[in-house]
Amino acid sequence: MNQNRKIDFEQFSAVLFDLDGVLTATAKLHAICWKQMFDNYLQQKFLSTGVAFQPFDIDLDYRHYVDGKLRYEGVKSFLQSRGIELPYGSPENDPEEETVCGLGNRKNQLVGEMLAAGHVGVFEGSIKLVHYLREKKIRMAVVSASKNCEAILNAAGIAELFEERIDGKVAETYGLPGKPEPATFLKAAELLAVEPQKSVVIEDAIAGVQAGKKGGFGLVIGVDRHDDAAALRENGADLVVSDLSELLPQ
């Protein structure tokens, strides 16, 4: 598909938005929390084992191993990249437990503290597009790996703009695998009663555009927030924009 930004959204029945980095400017917040959690853990690992401390790299590690994935899958993926194996544990693990779930819960605790402090912003171009789609009676859902999705939507004041929400908690309830598998997007389309081929997926994460492509969605739009437009195209984006306002009619 060419890179023409003049999209006739009315040929589609639904638009499925990722949250962090697409609607809300919380991707940086999450990246900071991931780095704080992993750096603390890796420093403890150095003190107990002598393994050289190599800090979590937001530019590389976050994008390649964590961004767009369910929290515990992100923990497992990053640890594997460092050759570290931990018991998986369970979601009920205390944040201090040295398990995959325990580390994931440590990160979630940090996010909660930052949300409580009011660190949530939105991308104005994205919200303008959402209001435009509402005027056109196009159905919309948010599809996010975050278990904090509902809290973030509420904190940003945009929860009421979407009919459905498939987030980390809902995915867990349904037993859905996270991105790059398309299951969460497919569930959102199902709940909106629309066919994937008549739905648009909008994502800023490589795992997200991979999911959109794999799910057979009618159009996959990548939002280039990390200077990786080429990677988004290579992994499934039919179109890449730097801001969703580019998709609005002039």
Q: What is the per-residue pLDDT across 222-250, written as a single tens digit (0 to 9) for each? A: 999 889 999 999 999 999 999 999 999 87
Structure confidence by residue, pLDDT tens digits, 73-131: 999 999 999 999 999 999 999 999 999 999 999 999 998 888 887 768 899 999 999 99
Nearest to 83 by CA among 109, 65, 60: 65
Mark whether 159 and 59 lie in a shared domain: no
Q: Is residue 69 part of a domain?
A: yes
What is the arithmetic mean of pLDDT over 164-177? 96
DSSP string computed for 40-70: HHHHHHHHHH-PPP----IIIIIIIIITTS-
**Cα–Cα distance measured from residue 212 to residue 205, given in angstroms and rounded to the nearest whole number:** 11
Please say if 18 is a catalytic residue.
yes
Q: How large is the average pLDDT for residues 24-48?
A: 91
Same domain, 21 and 35: no
Return the CATH number at 168: 3.40.50.1000
User: Are residues 191 and 135 part of one domain?
Assistant: yes
Q: Which of 20, 61, 67, 204 is catalytic?
A: 20
The residue among 116, 138, 155 that closes a domain is 116
> Do 38 and 97 sit in the same domain of this protein?
yes
Same domain for 242 and 180: yes
Q: What is the mean pLDDT of residues 23-36?
A: 88
In a domain, 42, yes or no: yes
pLDDT given at position 250: 78
Q: Answer with the residue of higher pLDDT: 26 or 153.
A: 153
Mean of the per-residue pLDDT values for the chain? 93
Q: Does 2 fall in a domain?
A: no
Average pLDDT in the 176-190 region? 97
Q: Is 187 contained in some domain?
A: yes
103 and 163, same domain (yes or no) = no
CB 139, CB 70: distance < 8 Å: no
Residue 148 pLDDT > 60: yes
In a domain, 86, yes or no: yes
End residue of a domain, out of 116, 138, 172: 116
| 97 SS3 class | coil
Residue 215 per-residue DSSP state: T
Residues 6+ apart with CB under 8 A from 167: 19, 142, 143, 144, 145, 146, 147, 149, 150
What average pLDDT does the segment 54-83 reach?
93
What is the pLDDT at residue 5? Answer: 64
- The answer to whether residue 151 sits within a structural domain is yes
* pLDDT average, residue stretch 30-43: 95
Among 91, 116, 141, the domain-final residue is 116
Both 15 and 90 in one domain: the answer is no
116 φ, ψ (degrees, to nearest 5): -65, -25
Q: How confident is the model at residue 1 (pLDDT cuts 50, 70, 90)?
A: very low
pTM of the model: 0.74
Distance from C-alpha of 82 to C-alpha of 194, rounded to nearest angstrom? 41
State yes or no: is 224 an active-site residue.
Answer: no
- The domain tally of the chain equals 2
Catalytic residue among 8, 18, 167, 227: 18
Q: Are 34 and 80 in the same domain? A: yes
Instruction: Answer yes or no: do 14 and 137 share one domain.
Output: yes
**Separation between Cα atoms, residue 235 and residue 157, nearest integer Å:** 32
Cα of first residue to Cα of last residue in the chain, in angstroms, is 22
Query: How high is the pLDDT of residue 2?
Result: 38
For residues 129 and 157, state if they share a domain: yes
Q: Does 93 fall in a domain?
A: yes
Give backbone dihedrals phi and psi of 221, rounded to 5 degrees, phi first. Answer: -110, 125
77 phi, psi to nearest 5 deg: -60, -45
SS3 of 141, please?
strand
Query: Under a CB-based contact definition with an 8 Å cutoff, are residues 232 and 243 in contact?
Result: no
Q: Which residue has the tokens 């194996």?
A: 85
Domain that holds residue 102: 28-116
The reply to whether 111 and 61 lie within a common domain is: yes
